[in-house]
Structure 1
Amino acid sequence: MTAETSSTSPENTLKVREDAEPVRFTMNEGEARITSPGQPNWVGEDFGRAVLRSRIEPWLTSLVQADHLNLLIGSGLTRGIHQIAGAHSPASMSAGKFESFSEQIADAAETSAKAAGRSASNIEDEIRTANQLFRGLEILKDDAADDLGSEISSVLEMFANSILEGERNLALADHVTREEAFTTLASFLMSFCSRTGTRDRLGLFTTNYDRLVEVGAELAGLHLIDRFVGTISPIFRSSRVDLDLHYNPPGIRGEPRFVEGVARFTKLHGSLDWIETKDSIRKVGLPFGASRLDPYLAVPGYSDAEFQRLMIYPNASKDRETADFPYVELFRDLAAAVVRPNAVTVTYGYSFGDEHINRVLQDALTIPSTHLVVISYGDELGRIQDAFNSWGHKSQMSLLIGPELADLETLTTHYLPKPSIDLASRRMGELIRQRHGEPSHLGINNHRENEESK
């Protein structure tokens, strides 16, 4: 998320409900102005945030109560939270520094980036290329493999420390803005996790390596269920056990009820605190905002752990029979959650730069009852618009793009469902409709706006 430097108001893109094509508009001091050709019939004379809210919030509220709901979080969430807190976010995705085979690695990484639709390579491209070269040199029994392996470990160490620096900057930010940022983060997560007990659990996915989602879940009292089992040194289990949390209401016979505020959590690209040891992948007890990672590797049982075994994509361990472990398991979880009937997937801050994820999202839209909601602060590279135009399922896609629609504070305050089970609001809306003849969703919105104005 970046500040707008242009003298003109930034453009926003909205497509929800029955819109056939996206509506583009600018927002200036609470007043909106259409910039795309034509004017939708829902705009009216007083086109501003109240009109947008009455159109967006009921739509999102209905979508998040679908049979199956998934939330995919990209790097935009991390940048947004850092901006609210006034903390510096390091450019951790910038290219690494390889001395051995530097030109060959840079050229191959650049080719890989362009094939994925990116204008320039990043550290992921270079690490993936260096790993492929490293394995080739090992097969050839070339002495240069040792030097390259050491460089890969050094680049990964710098990469991990840059992610830790971002966490530390957030933890050390001014307490007022930091509290505001974490409150916004908790509200954002609970807007999606607050589902009725008859619905399937939220599938929470992220491509980020940091632990910002985990911190937000702790603050919100949200229980995250992932593939790791254990307390002291959790271990990654390939055999997924369909665990859940239930409770027995007093005086009630029959099946137990779901505990509220539970989500199934998957970090698709690995995590800063995942390490491959001799016979397993384990989660290290790394505090949020720690200065360095290496002291937490110098413990009994982790003697062979090094930065080259850090489980951050695409650094699959060289000693595994398949280079895809554990990522193949994680992407299988994504496909199983997204590609099924009556499923809604919401993306926030995801730039559509990962072809594996894009393929899953596109396949899901071939099921008529699925829906994809894209929320993004911007689309500088045009990937979102390209996907919308080329995937051929426009009626199954909703777009909220631009600072007015995707800014975290504005989004959580005005457009997302309120972070609580919505049964009380539904009952209130029905009463208002019966007594005063108002549409249920308008009654709810007016009630919320009155409460917020007090």
Structure 2
Amino acid sequence: MTVDENWRGKHILKLRDYKEPTVIEDPDSDELRNVVEPWLTALFQSEHLSLLTGAGISSAVHYMATGTAGAGMGNMKLSAFADEIKHISEESAKKSGRGEANIEDEIRTLNELIRGLEIISSLDLVGDSEETNKLKALKVDLEDGITNFANTVLESERNVVTSDKDEPAEYLMNFILSFASRIATRERLNLFTTNYDRITEFGAELAGLHLIDRFVGSISPIFRSSRLNIDIHYNPPGIRGEPRYLEGVVNFTKLHGSLDWIEKNNLVRRFALPYGAESIKDYSQEGSLMIYPNSSKDRETSEYPYVELFRDLASSIIRPNSTVVTYGYSFGDDHINRVLIDMLTIPSTHLVIIGFDDIGDRIKKFYSKAKRPVQITLLLGYHFGDLKTLVDNYLPKPAIDRTTYKMADLLKARGTVAPIVNQNKEDEDE
């Protein structure tokens, strides 16, 4: 049965030589695994592999821990121009294909309004006009709104880390390891996220991964525009020659900023914020919390450091033999969607979209707009989007130990078991 109208609430599968997306009425893990897992394993062997996660990964882990989806993108309380801001925010959300407005749309609209009122109030010599008073109130609303949102996200972090269940952390760790387990002849995994929380960093730490980002320093790391090709190597004992790549290293980029980033004096720093802290005010320093699209004083500041981060995204994925996997990303960000469409103009690239649902038909619209069906794999629906089901049945084995595969080859030669597919086994001609 092929898709005719919308994909909302349906299980959509498209891979390999499927001519078009197909509705799976009753997904069966055992039956689908024989088709999906080898295909994903082959794609994960691409020369360049990138993973883009959205709010879905945080919701999936939080749901496993508590039974609820966790923090959402709620609205702010406004003391002035509430109806006007709501109207413009909704228009902005509709134009970008997101449907309902969220806090990002409100922050963007509120920043523009504050800038306009600043221009008007600059002519107020007394400093007590109606516009000036509203400007002061809106600045307080903006700061309080961002702080309240940050505390909500921190609460979700706290719910995960204080849960008495080990399963959420284990599946998060194995999920990340399925992508990060790359042999030295392959480029490092490029890990991108649009989340403000630190769920990705939490999972990477559990997995023993080392994340390389643009921050330099130990006590108060500073974001640097110049990105060197820094990596980690080691010298094997008793072996001369070039150092070898150390396993478990990932290039990491937070496209929309983070709860622990702050801007002051034109420098973006990462401050020490405990995972799941009670209140961000207890740890944050004076300055502007860097949550996209929060801006400080001018256009240049609002674009920095996000313009650098989006440049990292484009330079990492728009290359031949590149595979990008999205999980929990709703395709509601035009600036990211444009980069993905540009990537697909290269015939040797591939995009894998894994999601719990297609809210607002965003994924379907992206699929139709891209016009590259052969280069897109779809795994949509609560069956494929469920983190436990995905890790247990469809993602490649989260390890690169050669002993397992040598044992499997030995047992295969004896005719006792079927071969295990090795996602990291090098091609015979390499």
Does the Cα contact within 8 Å between 1:61 and 1:416 map onto a contact in 2?
yes
Partner of 1:286: 273
**Structure ranking higher on relative contact order (CA contacts 8 Å, 6+ apart):** 2
1:270 aligns to 2:249 (yes or no):
no
Matches of 1:69 and 1:429 in 2, distance apart? Answer: 26
Quickly say closer, same or farther: Cα 1:372–1:106, change in 2 above 3 A.
same
Partner of 1:63: 43
What stretches of structure 1 of length at least 5 have no aligned partner?
A: 1-9, 33-47, 446-454
Does the Cα contact within 8 Å between 2:59 and 2:70 map onto a contact in 1?
no
CA displacement at 1:379 relative to structure 2: 0.8
Q: 1:358 aligns with which of 314, 337, 348?
A: 337
Partner of 2:60: 80
Q: 1:172 aligns with which of 151, 162, 175?
A: 162
Matches of 1:360 and 1:93 in 2, distance apart? Answer: 24
Partner of 1:376: 355
Greater Cα offset, 421-430 or 198-207: 421-430
Does the Cα contact within 8 Å between 1:60 and 1:417 map onto a contact in 2?
yes
Residue identity matched to 1:368: P
Matches of 2:382 and 2:293 in 1, distance apart? Answer: 31
Give the TM-score taking structure 2 as reference length.
Answer: 0.89
1:398 aligns to 2:377 (yes or no):
yes
Partner of 1:121: 101
Provide, for residues 237-258 of structure 1, a one-character-per-residue CA deviation record: whole Å limited to 9, x for no partner: 1111211011111222221111
Q: 1:151 aligns with which of 135, 141, 151?
A: 141
Provide, for residues 398-434 of structure 1, a one-character-per-residue CA deviation record: whole Å limited to 9, x for no partner: 0111122221001101110111116455555655666
CA displacement at 1:316 relative to structure 2: 2.2
Residue identity matched to 1:374: I
Greater Cα offset, 138-147 or 283-292: 138-147
Does the Cα contact within 8 Å between 2:66 and 2:159 map onto a contact in 1?
no
Partner of 2:229: 242
1:209 aligns to 2:196 (yes or no):
yes
Query: Does the residue aligned with 1:323 lie in a helix, a strand or coil?
Result: helix
Does the Cα contact within 8 Å between 2:261 and 2:289 map onto a contact in 1?
yes
Query: Does the residue aligned with 1:11 lie in a helix, a strand or coil?
Result: coil
What stretches of structure 2 of length at least 5 have no aligned partner?
A: 1-8, 123-130, 422-430
Q: State the identity %.
A: 52
Query: Does the residue aligned with 1:84 lie in a helix, a strand or coil?
Result: helix
Matches of 2:220 and 2:301 in 1, distance apart? Answer: 24
CA displacement at 1:89 relative to structure 2: 4.3
Residue identity matched to 1:215: F
Does the Cα contact within 8 Å between 2:71 and 2:156 map onto a contact in 1?
no
Give the TM-score taking structure 1 as reference length.
Answer: 0.85
| Superposition map of 1:287-302 within 5 A | 287-297=274-284, 302=285
Quickly say closer, same or farther: Cα 1:199–1:135, change in 2 above 3 A.
same
Residue identity matched to 1:341: P
Alignment length, in residue pairs?
404
Partner of 1:443: 419
Q: 1:101 aligns with which of 81, 103, 122?
A: 81
Greater Cα offset, 324-333 or 83-92: 83-92
1:329 aligns to 2:308 (yes or no):
yes
Partner of 1:449: none
1:190 aligns to 2:210 (yes or no):
no
Provide, for residues 277-318 of structure 1, a one-character-per-residue CA deviation record: whole Å limited to 9, x for no partner: 224111110001100011213xxxx4x42xxx1100010222
Quickly say closer, same or farther: Cα 1:203–1:278, change in 2 above 3 A.
same
Quickly say closer, same or farther: Cα 1:199–1:381, change in 2 above 3 A.
same
CA displacement at 1:23 relative to structure 2: 2.3
Does the Cα contact within 8 Å between 1:428 and 1:444 map onto a contact in 2?
no
Residue identity matched to 2:215: F
Q: CA RMSD in A?
A: 2.0
Q: 2:291 aligns with which of 312, 330, 333?
A: 312
Matches of 1:89 and 1:349 in 2, distance apart? Answer: 12
CA displacement at 1:82 relative to structure 2: 0.8
Matches of 1:389 and 1:427 in 2, distance apart? Answer: 44
